[in-house]
Amino acid sequence: MDDKIKKAAFAGFIAKGAVYALSGLLALLSAFNLGGSKAGKFQVIEFLEQQPFGKILLALLGLGLICYAFWRFIQSIRDPEGIGSDKKGMVKRVSFFISGAIYLGLGLFAIFEIFYEPAKGSGGTLGFLGNRVKTYAFIIIGFALAGKGIYQFIKAYKGDFLKKFHISSLSDETKRKLIKNTGYAGLIARGILTSIVAYFFLKAGLSYSGASSEEMKGTGEAFSFLQETTSGPWLMGTVAAGLICYGIYMFTLARYRQFDG
């Protein structure tokens, strides 16, 4: 595989890891009233923008996320690692393309935030759509997210993610444990949060009153949902820690992932 593609993938892994690690860290602090916030991906970008050298951080993050999108598109279209064109392979490649589109949008959003102020009084992001269209869109997104959440649990159960590292070839036991533990914890945490967000979308889509843009909820609201349970901050804090683990897992991908193509 071309070294430039590998470097783009590594840059993407680091950027994606930074987003998830920061999201988890902010939520963990918030769970125990130590500051922070229940942050999703967009809130992480806003958080970085407010920091010293924020625009530089946004530029690096945006470029890294665009690199990750590029890697996903390469996986989907060129199939450099031989996933194949059978039914299972095509499902994975289509999911890679969708993932690439999402992270391309997130990367461009981070870049645009450097130059533009958010518009005021513009209404919801889906305000131009009719209720019926929004209802169908929310239901479709909800089922897609539910499938993604289940897939995260399956990946954790099967341990397939370890194949990317050729982990048996790593002689250092500490490194093997780091990859395994952060991978398992991170995938489970993502599965939990994605499933909750899927519930939000399906509930909005199936609502008798019709879905509205105000009902769009993401990771931040999923953390709030966990915080409102009987276990309160401890459950939220545990899942937030899992999200930090997923960020660390992405960093291990940048360092130890092996490419088969």
Q: What integer is the mean pLDDT of 2-18?
A: 91
- Taking residues 106-122, report their average pLDDT: 71
Give the per-residue pLDDT at 213. Answer: 44
Average pLDDT over residues 163-187: 86
Among 58-67, 77-86, 189-198, 230-239, the least confident range: 230-239
Which of 42-46, 50-54, 248-252 is least confident? 42-46
Residue 182 contacts residue 175 (beta carbons within 8 Å): no
In angstroms, the CA 206 to CA 259 distance is: 43
DSSP string, 18-72: HHHHHHHHHHHHHHTTSS-----HHHHHHHHHTSTTHHHHHHHHHHHHHHHHHHH
User: Is the per-residue pLDDT at 135 higher than 80?
Assistant: no
pLDDT for residue 136 is more than 80: no
Nearest to 17 by CA among 67, 79, 87: 67
How big is the chain by its Cα radius of gyration, in Å?
Answer: 19
CB atoms under 10 Å from CB of 110, counted, come to 28
Q: Is the pLDDT of residue 14 over 90?
A: yes
**pLDDT, position 124:** 46
pLDDT value, residue 122: 47
Q: What is the pTM of this model?
A: 0.80
* Alpha helices (runs of H) in the chain, residue ranges in sequence order: 3-31, 41-49, 54-77, 87-115, 131-158, 173-205, 219-227, 233-256
- Range 187-216 average pLDDT: 73
Count of alpha carbons within 13 angstroms of residue 200, beta-carbon side: 22
User: With contact defined as beta carbons under 8 Å apart, do 69 and 12 qualify?
Assistant: yes
Contacts of 169 (CB under 8 A, 6+ apart): 258
Looking at residue 125, its amino acid is: T
Length of the chain: 261
